[in-house]
Amino acid sequence: MKVKTSITISEELVRDMDEMYGGKNRSELIERAVRDFLEKEAQKKRDYKDMGIINKNAARLNREAEDVMSYQEDA
């Protein structure tokens, strides 16, 4: 379902959008841009959470990695 809304953007941005996309469906372009932005922000949030988990466990993970490396033969 679509919801009609009103936004205010600069003339320069409208001009750039029209030049790049030939003035075709601005709503579609803006919706796609906002969706892309929200997806990237959601991914950043997940990455930040994952980094927190890794950092919280870094010392233990590093000890385990060092232990594994100690069993490898020198090449």
Convert the pLDDT of each residue in 11-69 to its tens digit.
999 999 999 888 788 999 999 999 999 999 999 999 999 999 999 999 998 999 998 99
The answer to whether residue 38 is domain-embedded is yes
**Is 0.75 topped by the overall pTM?**
no
Q: How many separate domains does the chain show?
A: 1
The answer to whether residue 26 is domain-embedded is yes
> Which residue has better confidence, 49 or 72?
49
Domain residue limits at 42: 11-70
The answer to whether residue 63 is domain-embedded is yes
The answer to whether residue 52 is domain-embedded is yes
List all residues 6 or more positions away from 18 whose beta carbon is below 8 Å from its beta carbon.
26
- pLDDT confidence of residue 21: 85
Tell me the pLDDT band of 72, cut-offs 50, 70 and 90.
confident
The answer to whether residue 2 is domain-embedded is no
Q: Quick one: which of 56, 7, 59 has its CA closest to 33?
A: 7
